[in-house]
Amino acid sequence: MDNLISTSSGEKNTSPALPTLVQQPVEDEDALHFASGPLNQPPQRGRRSTGRSSWLTFFRGYGTALIIGLPVLPIVVSAVTIVIYLSNPSDSGWVSIVSGAVATYIGWWLISLLLIPLTSSRNANSRSYGLLESRLHQLETRLFTIRNEHPDEKVLPEYQQVALNEAFDKLQEITEDLYASNTRLPWTMGYGYINSWGKLHRAEEALVEVEPREMTMRGAMHDKMAISGSQISNRDELLSKLRYATKKLDPAMSGLFKSVAASAGEAESPEVQQLEHDVQQIAHHIGLKLDRDPSLSNGGRTRSSRDGEDEGRARLTLREVRRALNEYRDHLWEGLVRARNNLLGVTFVTGLGTHVLLCIAILALTPANPESRSTIIAAASYYMLGAIAGLFGRIGQATLTNIAVDDYGLALAQVMSRPLYSGLAGLGGVLVSSTILSISAQNSLNAMQGVFTPVRPDFLIVAAAFGLTPNLIASGLQNQSNKLLSALRSSKTTTSDTNANKDEE
């Protein structure tokens, strides 16, 4: 996510009267003290390091670790089953299938124990967690500063009291999610980060109506830079609202929010310029001094900008502009997470179907017949060659992709799933080629029977060629993910590397 304002955690207000986010050594990395409730109450403390909650955390982490390995589990089961089937010629197909499943499941259960630490919110996506925690410290600092300045919030206007309470509620929810919750699956799936970022954005949007004018204007400058280069459909409307609100809130800085055309003088026609010149000459003749921009008079403060109602409307407009930008970016992040999860789900279903077909083929073959083993060897060879060809093709595409933002593991999921589809494509290409040859041949039955009898070099070439076809079929998903990443990069305030973007195109 975008970094709006960087504030060191060491700069936080540590007044004893205010609860702060305190981290002390505990047994569980998630059992941390957290701030909750109004600031005039002592901080609530989460006790989750012992007792029933610890066991609940362990089982939830273990269950999540098991789910992490599901997409690749059918592929591993199929590979182990083939190895056992080929290494024990005298055993029946049922023995190989059951032995491969039992060995793989035992290994899956044991390896999942080592993956439990990776299911926590801190480790599932350490980069997103670090940025989220940093922004949470910034939010605490800003809220504590406002509460110190206004101990009695009743002196504030009613709309600012409501906004301040909204910010405190979201602060409590985010703190509970990060430090007091024992849920693990939402973090590994990515939705936990998306939800936390959304709550953090709602809190920051509420602060627009409460913070000092200088802080609000700094946030408005960030929004202007982010919206100007973004691909939001109503970008011009948002920029117009931003210019209107900043002019009402601080006329002295309104010139920084003018469009490029207005700054270059294109918005003023020659007739208007001539009229202004004539008015200036008349005023000079009668001895009256006029300012070109009346809003800059009286020390940069107009009567309307000091009016409470105008300021409230300006802050409300800035808050809605900020919300539109945040919702746009959150929607893009959610699209990346959904694409990754859907791809992993499809990979699991496809791998499960492939394993079922393998089991049927093993059971249909005669164990005592040596040609049965050669058939499995030939089919596995075609499959592996297609998978390797597709994997190298996907790696070649990945090297040309410029990923300037975190994609929540979407690129890794694409690399993991590509060998499965490429192997099936290679095997299917061999079947299609043999079918075409059998139709044109005189002895079609022998041609069909000879597909998997020996490993034929011409079929190996066909398998490698068809193994590259998933790279073409999956180009739609790749283009969609590239659009999401491009939209996220364009809505950042920093300028992207143009050379890298050209290489990506």
List of residues 6+ apart from 308 with CB closer than 8 A:
157
Supply 367's token pair: 């164990």
**What percentage of the chain reaches a pLDDT higher than 90?**
27
Instruction: Work out whether the CA dihedral 159, 165, 169, 171 comes out positive or negative.
Output: positive
d(CA 43, CA 35): 5
Q: Give the angle subtended at the CA of 449 by the CAs of 357 and 98, to the nearest 5°.
A: 30
Mean pLDDT of 331-357: 91
CA-CA distance, 405 to 131, in Å (whole number)?
13
Reply yes or no on whether the pLDDT at 382 is more than 70: yes
For residue 207, pLDDT beyond 80: yes
Residue with tokens 């003290």: 33
218: which 2 tokens? 């700094």
- The Cα 207–Cα 158 span in angstroms is 14
Nearest to 365 by CA among 444, 431, 434, 453: 453
Q: What sign does the dihedral 409-411-414-415 (CA atoms) show? A: negative
Which tens digit of pLDDT belongs to each residue from 165-186?
999 999 999 999 999 888 899 9
User: In angstroms, rounded to a whole number, what is the distance separating the alpha carbons of residues 74 and 417?
Assistant: 12
pLDDT at 401: 58
Q: What is the C-alpha to C-alpha distance for residues 411 and 413, in angstroms, rounded to an integer? A: 5
The token pair that represents 401 in the structure block: 């992709």
Q: Which residues on adjacent β-strands are paired with residue 45? A: 33
C-beta contacts of 483-488 below 8 A and 24+ residues apart: 484/332, 484/335, 484/336, 484/339, 485/336, 485/403, 485/404, 485/405, 485/407, 486/231, 487/230, 487/231, 487/332, 488/329, 488/332, 488/333, 488/405
Cα-based distances in Å from 160 to 138, 156, 241, 313: 19, 6, 21, 12
Is-contact 402 441, C-beta < 8 A? Answer: no
pLDDT classification of 473: cutoffs 50, 70, 90: low
DSSP 178: I
147-156 pLDDT, tens digit each: 888 888 788 8
Q: What is the pLDDT of residues 21-40, one digit of tens each?
A: 333 333 333 333 333 334 44
- Average model confidence (pLDDT) across the chain: 75
Mean pLDDT is lowest, of 38-52, 180-194, 258-272, for 38-52
What tokens were used for 206?
A: 């509420």
pLDDT single digits (tens) 118-127: 999 999 999 8
- Identify the pLDDT of residue 397: 65
Where do the structural domains in the chain lie, given as residue ranges?
A: 1-69+115-211, 369-504
- The whole-number pLDDT of residue 267 equals 45
Is residue 164 within 8 A of residue 210, CB to CB? The reply is: yes
- The vertex-442 CA angle with 441 and 448, nearest 5°, equals 55
What length is written for the chain? 505
Amino acid at 464: A
- pLDDT at site 418: 84
Q: Model pTM?
A: 0.74
Q: Report the pLDDT value the prediction gives residue 111, as an integer from 0 to 100.
A: 94
Q: How confident is the model at residue 491 (pLDDT cuts 50, 70, 90)?
A: confident
pLDDT of 360 strictly over 80: yes
Between 383 and 23, the more confident residue is 383
Say if CB 1 and CB 488 are below 8 A apart. no
